[in-house]
Amino acid sequence: MSSAPLLPAGASETNDDSYYCGVPKSMLFKTGVDGLSEEEAERRLEKFGPNQLAEKKENPFLKLLLAFVSPMAIMIWIAIAIEAVIKDWPDFGVLLTLQVLNSVVGWFEDWKAGNAVSALKNALKPECQVIRGGQHKKMDATLLVPGDRVTLAAGAAVPADCEICEGKPIQVDQAALTGESLPVTLACGDSAKMGSNVTRGEIEAIVTATGGETFFGKTAAMIASVDEQGHFQKVILQITFGLLCVSFVLTGIVLGYLLLNGEDVLQAIAFAVVLLIASIPIAMQVVCTSTMALGCRMLADEKAIVSRLTSIEELASMNMLCSDKTGTLTMNKMELQDDLPMWTAGITRLDVLEAACLAAKWREPAKDAIDTLVLKAIPLKPLDRYQQIEYEPFDPSTKYTEATLKDDKGYVFKVMKGAPQVVLSKCHNRAQIGASVDAKIMELASRGIRGLAVARTNPKEQWELMGILTFLDPPRPDTRATIEKAYDYGIDVKMITGDQQTL
């Protein structure tokens, strides 16, 4: 790599799409097969920073000091000062103890929860396969820089936003980003997003964005930008100020009554002060903080991680639960359904399933979610009577898989499985069955069920649609009970999914 400066003159001033953080993309992303040199990688790491999301760092001791000057704390300080003026030292000591307990307990629980989250993040540091100076090596994904050449292999997470290089397409699970149950196929020039996982294949890619510049990072930044006072603090302040207003009015009435009845001014004021202090809800914050601290410990026993103490109350006060579908309400695992519509006379469900298995490498381990689904549906030993002459794997441009086979009697035929519309377009009788097939596909989609068409050739070498395998991502065993319990608590439940509109 060249040692020329990354920033040409004036580059940092532009927001053109051809620039990345003020640097021309043409300089960053044209990485050769040997990858970046270690020296160039260090320069870029210094320029663009580590491949991790920015976090707000808070000084724990400053946070403790701020806990002593919150609106509720200030009211207690005023009460403490009044007790000191009238030299009521027992009450002075009680109020001071409550003030310290109130601030320290909440701060300590928040600090401990923050440490637990940090420890979890450190334990889950991602790794990646990168090419540096012609050497393939495994390293901490936070050290990736734009322009790095990485290897994306099955089972690995995509460590940053990457552009796929030349090679065989890979399949990527983007359920965490889009909610889509099935993996998507990415080929040369496509973009793989940070937060997704490779499920099939292996290919090299060029890192095009890291950290906060990734799609995932920008989304997280938008969420983090919402910084408003918590619901718990709002409720506490509303109650406190409401009670204070009532206390001041009633104390004023009592003070006026005493003065009008000839009471000594100092004694009347002292009595009014005692009454005012007694009416201030001093212990309310302490009681609430202690209750939430106990709740935090109970949640910890259930293996839950509480990042903020007030989040317990905020969760308890929600009135709508917006839930992801894939992997949250569902198993994120496709299952075949009993419904199997057929359009060829004289065949059975087993015939359709056998044809679907023959349109795969049934003697080898399944290579994608669809093959896994089909090959587990029936015993595979009886299929050994067939010889697979040719096999055409799934191609995202054609959307089907095709195989040529010969049975033990020497009869040669072809089988195909793929997208229903694509398979239907190859059938000789599509004009006669097209309307019924389309209607069935829409009916299945309206129930959230996907379809996989299976066809084979007849003796005239014409394609005939055998049937449509139906499958869906089933709900988790506890989904129904969880939703019913939410309704019992008065919480409305909404499902947020990335599925197509027909699903």
As annotated, the active-site residues are 324
Provide the residue count of the chain.
503
The stretches of 332-417 forming alpha helices (DSSP H) are 349-358, 369-375
Q: What single-letter DSSP state applies at residue 211?
A: G
Q: What is the 3-state secondary structure (H, E, C) of 34-45?
A: CCECHHHHHHHH
Element (H, E) at 65: helix 60-67
* Beta-strand runs (E) in 343-477: 387-392, 400-406, 412-418, 450-457, 463-472
- 374 contacts 352 by C-beta, under 8 angstroms: no
Q: For 267-408, where are the E strands, in sequence order?
A: 320-324, 335-336, 387-392, 400-406
Nearest-10 Cα torsion for 145, 151, 152, 158: -20
Instruction: Give the type of residue at 258.
Output: L
- Which residues, other chains included, contact 330 with Cβ-Cβ below 8 Å and sequence gap of 6+? 181, 473, 474, 475, 476, 479
Q: Which helix (H) or strand (E) holds 197?
A: strand 197-200
Closest CA to 74 of 66, 62, 86: 66
Q: Which two tokens stand for residue 359?
A: 């349109």
Nearest one of 244, 239, 232, 242 to 78, comparing CA atoms: 244
Q: Look at residue 455 and give its three-state secondary structure.
A: strand
**For residue 337, with 0-12 CB atoms within 10 Å meaning exposed, 13-18 middle and 19 or more buried, which class applies?**
middle
The count of other CB atoms within 10 Å of the CB of residue 415 is 24
